[in-house]
Amino acid sequence: MTERSHTRLELIAAFLLGGLLCPDFAQAAGIALEPCRIADQRGLVSIGARCGKFTVPEDPDDPQGAKIELAVAVVPAVATRAKPDPLFLLAGGPGQGAIQGYAPIVRAFEGIRRERDLVLVDQRGTGGSNRLDCEMPDDVLASGEFPPAELRRLATECLAQLPGRPQFYTTSIAVRDLDAVRAALGFERINLFSGSYGTRVAQHYARRYPERTRAIVLDAVVPPGQVLGPGIAIESQAALDRVFARCQADPACDQRFPGLAGQFAVLDARLRRGPAAIPFNDPVDGTATDLEVTRAHLVTMARMLSYSARAASLLPLVVHEAATRGNYAPLAAQAEMLGEDLAGMIAMGMHHSVVCAEDAPRFDGAVDRAQLARTFIGTQMLDGMEAICQVWPRGAVDADFHEPLRSQVPALLLSGEFDPATPAAYGAAAAAGFDDALHVVVPGQGHGQTRLPCVQRLLRRFIDSASPAGLDTACVEEIRPAPFFLSFSGPSP
């Protein structure tokens, strides 16, 4: 796998196994599971599993009404006799399917899989579970080029294309699905691993079903009371500023890219005045075309590369090339690849259903709009979601959904020091809701920590014991961010 492919899988999953379940498992469990292979969206990674569908009412309060099918995949334990409490992997987004999203990083859980099944359930509205998606421009929220009336029109057209009723695709309903799958598979208790938005799902599951939850891992944490969306611009700006500061503190990077923050400001101002037309070779299929590089490309590149320490190592070089040499191709290539992959990964209809029901009613007062306006993203993401949510159906949310969690479930929480979406402060706030918790902040890292061998060892030990007590986290202090690329050949020796 190339360095580019590896980095893209990190960013998109952020987050080649085989084996079969015993023949009687599917019959006894209540879900017909058949041999299958699950893969990431580009087919770069393929994993042996057993897959099936589980039927649930679209409206859980109308069991005789319309039905939807949930996609379920089990990657079986290596051991002949698996432990009775599997690890369920919950995806982020909102809008990412667990099966496709975790396929590239299942090997991060190999230590746990020696003795436990890994269970992947595409949350309703994602992946193979009645995916709620529609054709909308990739940069509809990033570009700032769509006025509210146009966004409302696009959202209305999107609604007409959906295969389900969006009001029934909230987290409150999803946790009921998750527990129904647990019961159908015959598990008394389960462990949960979750990333990003998935940590919201995991915490609400633990709130609703504490007796079914043995242990919980939250990676890139969203506390129950946190409003998703408005703060992204502020945290993204902070992450970008940290990249610039790290480059300035690194003699080789500072010498190669002096005044990097100023270079970004010049580039930003230039693209605000108008796009740059360039000949462009598509990085995916190699097609030659003419491309207008817009400010949306800059926003997408700067935001998404900062999600991963490995990807952030490219950022100074990409900014420098565009700002000082007029070489926009690397910037455009990163933005186009990431935008295309995100469009394939995120079911936007499900995303809007979650945000419009759970977060949009609390947008007012969640953030200082003047502070937003001073970031490179600005207010456009917030403005865009407000416009979309004006026409999007709003589903029911449990009355205690945003209340602080009080739980006795053992918890391990992971945060990246430089996370541009869920900062370490979020993890600290969520940790306060658990009586038995350990919050680990990983130095120099971004959004999601599972690719790190040190963290993988911590995960295995925590799931083995179902307790954070005595976990040796010394290896975390040895983790450093990847060195900066000083040229397209890579970092300096």
- Which residues have CB under 8 Å from 162's CB, separation 6+? 132, 133, 134, 349
How far apart are the C-alpha atoms of 44 and 277, rounded to whole Å?
Answer: 32
Asked, for residue 277, whether it belongs to a domain, the answer is no
Residue 393 lies in a domain: no
Q: Are 362 and 227 a contacting pair, CB within 8 Å?
A: yes
The owner of tokens 């990676």 is 219
pTM here?
0.92
Within a domain: residue 233?
no
Distance separating alpha carbons of residues 350 and 392, to the nearest angstrom = 11
- Cβ atoms 407, 210 nearer than 8 A: yes
Q: Domain for residue 356, yes or no?
A: no
> Which amino acid is present at 148?
P
Say which CATH number the domain at 453 has.
Answer: 3.40.50.1820
Under 8 Å between Cβ of 122 and 99: yes
- Pair 382, 360: CB distance under 8 Å: no
Q: Which two tokens stand for residue 163?
A: 């295969």
Which residue range(s) make up the domain with 472? 3-134+163-226+401-478
Number of domains in the chain: 1
CA distance 38 to 45: 8
pLDDT means over runs of 10, the chain (493 residues): 42 34 40 94 86 97 97 97 97 96 92 98 98 78 75 95 97 98 97 98 98 98 94 95 97 97 98 95 83 94 94 97 97 90 87 97 92 93 94 97 97 97 97 98 96 97 97 96 92 71
* pLDDT at residue 144, as a whole number: 59
CB of 35 within 8 A of CB of 70?
no
**Residue 297 falls within a domain, yes or no?**
no
User: pLDDT at position 137, please?
Assistant: 67
User: Is residue 486 one of the residues assigned to a domain?
Assistant: no
Tell me whether residue 259 is in a domain: no
Length of the chain: 493
Beta carbons within 8 Å of 456's beta carbon, 6+ residues apart: 108, 109, 110, 111, 450
pLDDT in the model for residue 104 = 87
In the DSSP assignment, the letter for residue 484 is P
- Is 372 part of any domain? no
pLDDT attached to residue 33 = 97
